[in-house]
Structure 1
Amino acid sequence: MVERNAAELAEIAAAFGADAQRAHVVGLTGSPGVGKSTTTNELVAAYRRDGKRVGVLA
């Protein structure tokens, strides 16, 4: 829903403040069993080692 409406996305991001404006978004897609969960876990661990905050939405 939001991904198709840039104006709505901007409004929602503004509600979260400056942190939302600086956030990086990474999306992973793929067929079942190709390693999305494993890749996500590795990415989260790497970002956290670098002192970054991470949120995962599924």
Structure 2
Amino acid sequence: MVSKSSHIITKTSGFYLVTNEILQQKPEIKENEIGLMNFFIQHTSVSLLINENTVPDVR
């Protein structure tokens, strides 16, 4: 089992695509075909939406 931390800083509220930023910070995860990623968000009024991002019109 591997455990690593990463931070994503946002400037304003809104929707953010974070895939590229995560891959830049942790390029080794591209080698995995299956895995588990945990998100810990240390803020009381934050939401997390995860989807496939296959159609740009959905944003």
Does TM-score exceed 0.5, indicating one fold? no
Q: Give the TM-score taking structure 2 as reference length.
A: 0.32
Normalising by structure 1, what TM-score? 0.32
